[in-house]
Structure 1
Amino acid sequence: MAIDFEAQAEDGEHPELAEAEAASSINITPLIDVLLVLLVMLIITIPVHFHAVNIELPNSGPATQSAPPPIVRIEVTASQQIVWNGVALSDRQDLENHLLAAAQFAPPPEIHVHAAPTTKYDSVAAVLSAAQRLGLQKIGVVGLDEYLPTSLPTNP
């Protein structure tokens, strides 16, 4: 015995059957949402090495410990006398000859300039500029901490 739902729905005997037929199409929006979530999960789980770029990097050898550069102590006395590692120099040309010879070393030495408290600024500036002009790069004024107070004054 076959049942004709369409005929019964048209007659008005069973109104719920008419609604069931009208809503018989499937709503695919939730299915698309699920598929998009699965697609995102698939993209995230792709191994990282597929995205990597192969680059040939140079190999570096082991780090070598180089000897520290020699230190040259230049003193400028209160009487404008220039002393190179404890040896008094006759004039500025003698200083430039010593600086030129020191610049030829590999590695070039560090120049430590010590000035007496009453030395004129021009004398110290002449030593610093001569060292820089002749290509020495590690130049510093040393000994200023000798003249600093041992404790800082407090403001009352």
Structure 2
Amino acid sequence: MAISAGGGDGEPMMDMNTTPLIDVMLVLLIMFIITIPVQTHAVKLDLPQDDGSNNPPPVDPVKNKIVVTSGDVILWNGTPVSQLELRQYLDVSQQMVPIPELHLQPEPNARYEVVDEVLAITKRASVEKMGFVGNEAYYQEF
């Protein structure tokens, strides 16, 4: 069985040979890809340098934690504060949008008088989102 690829016997083939054309196109495509500059999606910013004197903001916009220690020390996000500073931080936090949560965690041996003063300060500051945390550690003691 013979395969005919064009004209009759002895006649020249009238179809164009596209193999060299495809080879040239592939070489040109590869050369074009190689010569394209690499695209970087970097945004150049001048970032501030940390000189060690920058303190983190005292009021976290998501949640803040007050801890009353057994030594009658009030901690705001881990930093000791006075009752006046506590009131100022609470006033600042209540003016934020959205209002951050306030978590109160008294230590087990903290004096009730200090915890009561902290609760009174939070009430005077009209704190809206407040919760007690850490109480689950003492559920077996009662």
**TM-score interval for Structure 1 and Structure 2 normalised by the shorter chain:** 0.5 to 0.7
Moved beyond 2 Å, runs of 4+: none
Report the Cα offset of residue 143 of structure 1.
Answer: 0.8
Bigger share in helix: 1
Report the Cα offset of residue 120 of structure 1.
Answer: 1.2
Q: Does 1:93 align with 2:87?
A: no
Q: Where does the alignment leave 5 or more consecutive residues of structure 1 unmatched?
A: 1-68
- 1:25-54: CA deviation from partner (whole Å, max 9, x where unpaired): xxxxxxxxxxxxxxxxxxxxxxxxxxxxxx
Q: Does 1:139 align with 2:130?
A: yes
Q: Structure 2 length normalisation: TM-score?
A: 0.53
Task: Determine which structure has greater relative contact order: mean sequence separation of CA pairs < 8 Å that are 6+ residues apart, divided by chain length.
Answer: 2
- 1:104-151: CA deviation from partner (whole Å, max 9, x where unpaired): 11111111001110111121121122112112111122111111229x
Q: Where does the alignment leave 5 or more consecutive residues of structure 2 unmatched?
A: 1-60
Q: Does 1:110 align with 2:101?
A: yes
Letter in 2 for 1:79: G
* Aligned residue number for residue 74 of structure 2: 82
Number of residue pairs aligned between Structure 1 and Structure 2: 82
Query: Could you say what the CA RMSD is over the residues aligned between the two structures, in angstroms?
Result: 1.9
Show the 5 A alignment for 1:121-140.
Answer: 121-140=112-131
Question: For the pair shown, which has the larger CA radius of gyration, 1 or 2?
Answer: 1
The answer as to whether partners of 1:78 and 1:118 remain within 8 angstroms in 2 is: yes
- 1:28-85: CA deviation from partner (whole Å, max 9, x where unpaired): xxxxxxxxxxxxxxxxxxxxxxxxxxxxxxxxxxxxxxxxx71111100001101111
The answer as to whether partners of 1:78 and 1:117 remain within 8 angstroms in 2 is: yes
Aligned sequence identity (%): 32
Q: Structure 1 length normalisation: TM-score?
A: 0.48
The answer as to whether partners of 1:80 and 1:119 remain within 8 angstroms in 2 is: yes
The answer as to whether partners of 1:128 and 1:139 remain within 8 angstroms in 2 is: no
* Aligned residue number for residue 54 of structure 1: none
SS at match of 2:86: helix
